[in-house]
Copies of this chain bind each other. A is one copy, B any other.
Amino acid sequence: MATINTNYQKLASGYLFPEIARRTSLWQKAHPGVPVLRLGIGNTTEALPEAVCEAMKEKIDSLSDRTTYTGYGDEQGDTYLREALVAYYQRYGVELQSTEFFVSDGAKSDAANIQDLFGEHNIVAIQDPAYPVYVDSNVVGGRTGLFNKEKGCYDGFVYLASTEENGFIPEPPKQKVDLLYLCSPNNPTGAVATYDQLKAFVDYARENKSVIIFDSAYSEYITEDGYPRSIYEVEGAKECAIEINSFSKFSGFTGVRLGWTIVPKALRCEDAQAGVLNAMWNRRQCTFFNGASNIAQKGGFAALSGAGYEQSRALVAYYLENARIIREGLSKVGLTVYGGVNSPYIWARTPNGMESWDFFDLLLDSCHVVVTPGGGFGPAGKNFVRVSSYGHREQVIKAMQMIEENLKI
């Protein structure tokens, strides 16, 4: 008599983005022909860099010829790509070995799967609000109690509130926790942690033998000086941090799928000496994964240097200009906004203390603009919405016009 993993039953509700899609689709059915302006999901919209496309087409040509065809690659990723990633980090003064990199099909998979390296009884801290995958994967992994509807929290999790008061970068927890998820530049708040702020977490983790899972998927959006692009810019981080990153937001790989995770050999925890967690993740990837698409890997390689890098940087600049337009547009109608300078996301306070899903509905209904309700990212997001700069310029401008003309607050 097979029985299910009952942790799934603890999951509070549908995953945030499918729920947005559901509400949007319902609205569209009720308003046929009315165009919807999507600033919700962080989904890239501009063309893939030319150099990336060329590299991928060349790979397909080589696969179409039996003398150059290749089948399974290494589960950890192709050596040339891992070495290119080493060089990519050297730009920021970070020295890593290629065997500390694990290429994957994207940051989401890795962010969800990484918890499986750790025991069920680890106490997990997350920034609140946070990317739902950190939370949901640990619910399924059995590291929480039930969802407390009143508080909007899972029992057993430690929520580090990211608020206007702390500039959306909380301090390390007062109590002992075992796993700490950090994201900078942050999704959803758009806040970016300084060296000193990250150092406080690294010091905390070293002192408590905790492990930081650092999501740097938006590192290429940092435009101002003084903000680390990698947690390994902080001294001692290799002992206590795993870093996850992706080609999605840098080079438009959201649909192509490619990311990487760094598990340093120096990483250790209470019952694992240096080297053990690197070997465990290697084993995990060799057992549960069969390598990222070889076509995508060639594309990723092209994005890391030369013309591909410049074209990817231009893509980021395009979205950042969108972010500026959104920041200014929302400010103009009187909303209080954060982020959008070192991040593609603008975090906007809802007017008059409105609940975020209500403001979502209002924006959709009155302005035909889809945003992401902050409440979907955690209780501290309940009076905010995330506005994404991913979209065609003309859509972004139109959305701001619609909001300026139609939003009554």
Q: Which residues of A pack against B, CB within 8 Å?
A: 1-6, 8, 11, 15, 18, 41, 43-48, 50, 53, 56-57, 60-61, 63-66, 69-73, 105-106, 108-109, 112-113, 116-122, 132-133, 136-137, 140, 176, 178-179, 208-211, 252, 254-257, 269-272, 276-277, 280, 283-284, 286-296, 390, 392
Contacts and interface: CB of A to CB of B under 8 A. Distances in A.
Contacts of A65: 47
Nearest to A177: B2
A137 B57 CA distance: 35
Given A63-B256, A64-B50, A272 B71 contact: no
Contact of A5 (B15, B116, B286, B291): B116
Which 7 residue pairs of A and B lie closest in terms of their CB atoms, listed nearest first? A71-B254, A2-B269, A1-B270, A255-B294, A43-B71, A112-B288, A2-B178
Contacts of A6: 119, 271
Contacts of A116: 5, 140
Contacts of A118: 2-5
Contacts of A106: 290
Given A15-B286, A289-B109, A119 B3 contact: yes
A50 B152 CA distance: 53
Given A112-B288, A119-B6, A69 B45 contact: yes
A289 B108 contact: yes
Nearest to A112: B288
A50 B61 CA distance: 10
Given A3-B272, A15-B283, A69-B252, 14 more contacts: A1-B209, A1-B270, A2-B210, A2-B270, A5-B116, A6-B271, A8-B117, A44-B69, A45-B69, A57-B57, A63-B252, A108-B289, A109-B289, A257-B292
Contacts of A276: 4
Contacts of A43: 71-72
